[in-house]
Structure 1
């Protein structure tokens, strides 16, 4: 599909859909995450594959809940985060075993997510729909199964708890020394490439980081470099 046409179509899905208010029941999502994700955010991939039927039903249910003008902003934000994370799990369950999501050819560009009758990709959700929403905290809630990615929450995102969940996700990611390094002796920082990929969404990167950073603050004079993203599958032994 032509990129301009796709952008137009996705923005229509995002902000222009009309319809009746729909009840959002996250109970199945919650049960599924509790069964397949550890407290540290590690996914039990073998168990995930064994229960891919249940996962398919969850993804199908999400596809029938298209945001419309009756939805609040928190409902819309929570919905798209859950759509991304559960469809990522669905993609993994279809291809596993592998050592990295990159073993799948162009995984983020596969148009397999059904939204309002249109097939979109993970990249579309992250870089068109979520980008248009304009809340950079959402990027820290998206898990792509890689070591360098934000941890997958054991709780689905909900409108009622969204702000608390997003604040926790950002704080957890920024203060994870395996993701970001802040020198205690020099004015240097090595950041996750996630900050570089979405640089245009951080008006003042230092201020954004300092809001969540525990310990020494950074400044606009801090020498910032970016680490390499480790696409190896994030996994622990069960």
Structure 2
């Protein structure tokens, strides 16, 4: 690396690290998905492919011979270095310092490691090689002087005997006190030969200098050998980085690019373009005094269409896998996915025009996010229907709750994010876990309409009371053995109920169970043993209803 290249690369690397540390002072939740965020991401990703291209050219001899007729490997190496630093800088700018997803954090961290390992490894390896060459040159000069000194001492037995006295380790430390001091360096710089009879001090310094340089060379050789493995390490983590980058790009495309409307059909495509155009026009006339009213109007529009969708496909309780549960006609909901004027499409379009920061808090915001969670779960199932569960591999290979499958305003949200980072974090209401539905048989039964801000508390209480009267998934009391079996939700989210102990769970249940059950449980609360139903993740789909004979047997 030439000196100028080294200075530029060092400056860019330092700038990259400073840029990364900026997350302590800056955070933009929307920039990564914006148009400019996408431009930075695409530009950075393309530049990060240059080192891969360099590695291929370097190792494929036919390709190397053709390319080097036009561009030297030295120039390609410089491009590799600059692109390998500028690309990550653009990628860091793309993040907007929003480090939330495990994949995004891993990708950012590994990007920094790859850049730093590449820069430090190359610089240190070059520095070690240079120092080894210099020290070997100096060692050869000293050995020449040593040989001349040995020849002269052979003719001066008295001086040789004097010096032999200081050959031990501790005695050599005191040699400077008894022997005349002259420096070997003076002789090296003047001539590799001795211009005079060597003094005792000079001879001892000569031996020590040779020993020091030999030790330094061995140390540098060791580090050079160790750094010889650096290249393999650098290549391996680079390929891991490319793998994570591919996953990140796939996820962005799969779950929707906010600055690029995915094409589904001609009709839905133009409908979305019209919606985006109207949204942009409304921004031109946006004033803060009307923003809350506008947001609430869009929320009301969303709730109207979602409620119509909900009521149309909601069905009274049936038995599935022997569990009594309310169900939905997901086949019907799936048919609404690509319909530009369906309630599902219109509800989702209304959500895209809602500004979450202007919801105003309270029951209005709580009800809104519960409904967003529930329509997202419906949408995830409907998009991949037919499926047997929200955990079906057609929906996700492992974590459907992490999929950011719905857009609210300029952001995309996942089920886990809505439940834990918004609803529970902001409202700290344990009843929320009974209201958000993952479309499973064992989830609490849905009421006949969506959650309403005006009736929020009564609806939440009713859902919990209904669950505790359902003996197939909610609660069974075995008075004889003093065992109370409760919904799996109480086990999974026990931290939300009081102090998370069995007593905390019982105290919560006492508020919603019948007076008879409450009296008995209060009298035996210290001896009651809690058990929990096994959670059935099967889809609460009308099409999966048990046959009538099986249903009657279960009843």
- Give the TM-score taking structure 1 as reference length: 0.86
1:170 corresponds to 2:170: no
SS in 1 for 2:372: helix
Displacement of 1:211 in angstroms is 1.0
Which has the larger Rg? 2
Displacement of 1:235 in angstroms is 2.6
1:216 corresponds to 2:517: yes
SS in 2 for 1:39: strand
1:27 corresponds to 2:327: no
- The total of aligned residue pairs comes to 227
* Distance (Å, rounded) in 1 between the aligned partners of 2:388 and 2:359: 42
Task: Confirm or deny: 8 A CA contact 1:141 1:166 kept in the other structure.
Answer: yes
Judged with a 3 Å threshold, the aligned counterparts in structure 2 of structure 1 residues 145 and 71 are, in CA distance, closer, same or farther, namely: same
* Distance (Å, rounded) in 2 between the aligned partners of 1:153 and 1:51: 22
SS in 1 for 2:328: coil
Aligned 1:37-186 pairs, distance under 5 A: 37-40=314-317, 41-52=326-337, 53=339, 54=342, 55-68=344-357, 71-103=360-392, 104-105=395-396, 106-132=399-425, 133-179=427-473, 180-186=475-481
Q: Gapped runs of 5+ residues in structure 1?
A: 7-17
Judged with a 3 Å threshold, the aligned counterparts in structure 2 of structure 1 residues 90 and 220 are, in CA distance, closer, same or farther, namely: farther
Displacement of 1:69 in angstroms is 5.5
Task: Confirm or deny: 8 A CA contact 1:142 1:152 kept in the other structure.
Answer: no
2:485 aligns with one of 178, 183, 190: 190
Q: Which structure 1 residue ranges, 4+ long, deviate > 4 Å from structure 2?
A: none
What CA deviation, in whole Å up to 9, does each residue of 1:144-179 have, x standing for no partner? 111111122331211111111111111111221111
Task: Confirm or deny: 8 A CA contact 2:446 2:463 kept in the other structure.
Answer: no
Task: Confirm or deny: 8 A CA contact 2:356 2:408 kept in the other structure.
Answer: no
Task: Confirm or deny: 8 A CA contact 1:206 1:220 kept in the other structure.
Answer: no
Task: Confirm or deny: 8 A CA contact 2:351 2:409 kept in the other structure.
Answer: no
Task: Confirm or deny: 8 A CA contact 2:488 2:533 kept in the other structure.
Answer: yes
- Give the TM-score taking structure 2 as reference length: 0.39
Judged with a 3 Å threshold, the aligned counterparts in structure 2 of structure 1 residues 176 and 63 are, in CA distance, closer, same or farther, namely: farther
* Distance (Å, rounded) in 1 between the aligned partners of 2:539 and 2:359: 38
Displacement of 1:51 in angstroms is 1.7
SS in 2 for 1:101: coil
Q: Gapped runs of 5+ residues in structure 2?
A: 1-97, 105-287, 318-325, 499-503, 546-555
* Distance (Å, rounded) in 2 between the aligned partners of 1:232 and 1:31: 25
* Distance (Å, rounded) in 1 between the aligned partners of 2:535 and 2:451: 25
Give 1:12's aligned residue: none
* Structure with larger RCO (C-alpha < 8 A, sep 6+): 1
